[in-house]
Amino acid sequence: MSNSHIVYLDNAASNIYDPKVLACAEEFVSLLRDERPEIHAKSCEIMQGYIRGAREKVAELIHCDAAEVTLIESTTHALGLISELVDIKSDENVLICDLEYGASYFCLTRKQKKVGFEIRQVKSENNEITADIFKKYIDEKTRLIVLSAVQEVNGYRADLKAISELAHLYGAYLAVDGVQEVGAMDVNVREAGVDFYGAGAKKWIGSPFGTGFLYIRDELVHKLEPAYDSYFNALLPGKSWPENVAYMNDEWLSWPGKTPFDQMDIIDTAQKFEINGYRNYLGALGLLRAIEVHLEYGQKNIEERIISLNIRLTEGLRKLGLDTVSSKIRKHMSSSVSFNLGLKDGEAEDEIKLVAYLRDKNILVSCRCSTGTGGIRVSMHYYTKEEDIDALLSAVKEFLSQPAQ
C-alpha cells in the first residue's frame, strides 16, 4: 500500500477521529499541567464533570435518562456485566444468534460453567434474524436473549422492538450488543423497549479506546444489585451524590472509628454498577466530545447519509453481477454492506485475495465470514464520499476482469 490517498471503508473496525476528539488530549494535559495541591479540589470537580457530561451525552444520543447509563470500557465489558447482573437459574435457558460476535458467547459460557443453564443457538435464516425465528426457540424457561442490533458479519439490522416484545411476553430480558449500530444509526432504546443496550464507543461514535456505555432500563436499575460495591457510589444519610463524596473526605474520614458505615446505602442510579474511584477522565472527555460531534451533525442526518451510500454501493455491485448478503429492506439496512464471490467450499479464499488486491490500491475493507455467510465487509460513515464508493466499485470491476488463476 502506497502513501497516496487512502479510501477508508472499514469503519466497522475503527473510525477516523474527529479533530475535536483529538484535541481532548491537549485539553486534559493542560489540566494536569496546572494541577497543584491548592487547586486539587477544583481539578477533581472538572474531571468529575467529564464523567457526568459523558453520561448525559450518551443519554441524549440514545434517548434515555442519564440515571440509566453506566460508563464502561468496551462492549465485552458490558456483556460480561450483564451476565453477572441477570440471575439465570440452572433450569433456565439463554438464546443467542449464530451470527453473534465471539465475546457474547464467551461471557455466557463462563457463567454457564458456574450455573449450568442451557445456551440455545438460534439459527439465522436467509441472513436474517427476526422475532419469528426467535419464536421457534423461546419458552417459559428463557431468561435472556442476547442479540446484536447490527450483525458484524452481514450488516443486518434487527427489529429490536419486535424481539423485545416477544422476550417480555415470555418474561425474558433482551440484552443488545449495540456496537455496530450506535453512532451510525439513530438509536432510541425507549422506543425499542430493550432491557440492556451496551456498546464500546471507539467504533461508530469515534471515542478513544477504553470508553463505552451500558444502558439499563430504569426498572432494572432499581431491581438489580451491583456485581461489586464501590466506596464512591456510597450514599450517606441525608446527603445527595456527589456532595456526599466531599463530606466523606472532609469530615467523616477525618475521624477514624466514627464513620457509620452501617448507615451507608448505595446510589440508586446506573452509576452503582460502575467501579467508582479515580476514573478514566480523559476517556470520558473524549466520549463527551465525540457524541457532541454526532449531535451537531444530527444522528438522523448521519443515518440517512450512510443509507444513501449503502444504496449506491449495493446498486453498483448489482451492476457488476454481484449480489449482497446484506438486507435491501430499508429498516434492516445499516452502515455495513457485505458481499462475496461465492465462498467456495465455505471458504473465503477468493474474498481474501480481493481484500489484498484492494489494499494494494489503498482501499481498505475487511473480510468477515460466519456460518457460510458474510464475505467482504464494506462499512461507511458520514464522512465517506461518493467518490470512495466509486473507487471501490472500479477496483472490484478490475479484479473481476482479470484472467482466472
Neighbours of 213 (CB within 10 A): 31
Q: Residue 310: is its pLDDT beyond 90? A: yes
Indicate whether 309 and 349 sit together in one domain.
yes
Q: What are the pLDDT digits (tens) for 23-81?
A: 998 888 888 777 665 556 677 778 888 999 999 999 999 999 999 999 999 999 999 99
CATH of the domain at 290: 3.40.640.10
- Rounded to two decimals, the pTM is 0.92
Indicate whether 106 and 176 sit together in one domain.
yes
DSSP states along 277-296: SS--HHHHHHHHHHHHHHHH
Query: Is the Cβ–Cβ distance between 348 and 340 less than 8 Å?
Result: yes
pLDDT at 124: 93
Indicate whether 279 and 365 sit together in one domain.
no
Indicate whether 204 and 325 sit together in one domain.
no
Does any domain span residue 64? yes
Residue finishing a domain among 266, 283, 313: 266
Does any domain span residue 390? yes
Neighbours of 6 (CB within 10 A): 15
Q: Which whole number is the average pLDDT over 158-168?
A: 98
Does any domain span residue 71? yes
Indicate whether 82 and 164 sit together in one domain.
yes
The total number of structural domains in the chain stands at 3
Please report how the helices 386-401 and 349-360 are oriented relative to each other, as an axis angle in degrees rounded to 10.
120
Residue finishing a domain among 249, 277, 296: 296
Indicate whether 126 and 241 sit together in one domain.
no
Indicate whether 273 and 243 sit together in one domain.
no
Indicate whether 237 and 361 sit together in one domain.
no
Lowest mean pLDDT among 204-208, 244-248, 370-374: 244-248
The grid cell for 20 is 475535536
pLDDT band, residue 363 (cuts 50/70/90)? very high
Q: How far apart, in whole angstroms, are the C-alpha atoms of residue 187 and residue 194?
A: 11
Indicate whether 373 and 241 sit together in one domain.
no
Strand 366-370 versus strand 363-364 pairing type: unpaired
Nearest to 209 by CA among 282, 261, 138: 282
**367 vs 38, residue with greater confidence:** 367
pLDDT at 38: 56
Does any domain span residue 386? yes
**306 vs 76, residue with greater confidence:** 306
Task: Find the domain containing 244 and state its range.
Answer: 231-266
Please report how the helices 386-401 and 299-319 are oriented relative to each other, as an axis angle in degrees rounded to 10.
20
What is the DSSP-derived secondary structure letter of residue 194? -
Does any domain span residue 2? no
CATH of the domain at 365: 3.90.1150.10
Using alpha carbons only, how large is the chain's radius of gyration in Å?
A: 23
Does any domain span residue 1? no
Lowest mean pLDDT among 4-8, 261-265, 267-271, 310-314: 261-265
pLDDT band, residue 279 (cuts 50/70/90)? confident
Does any domain span residue 338? yes
Indicate whether 138 and 245 sit together in one domain.
no
Indicate whether 212 and 245 sit together in one domain.
no
Indicate whether 338 and 348 sit together in one domain.
yes
Residue finishing a domain among 250, 266, 282: 266
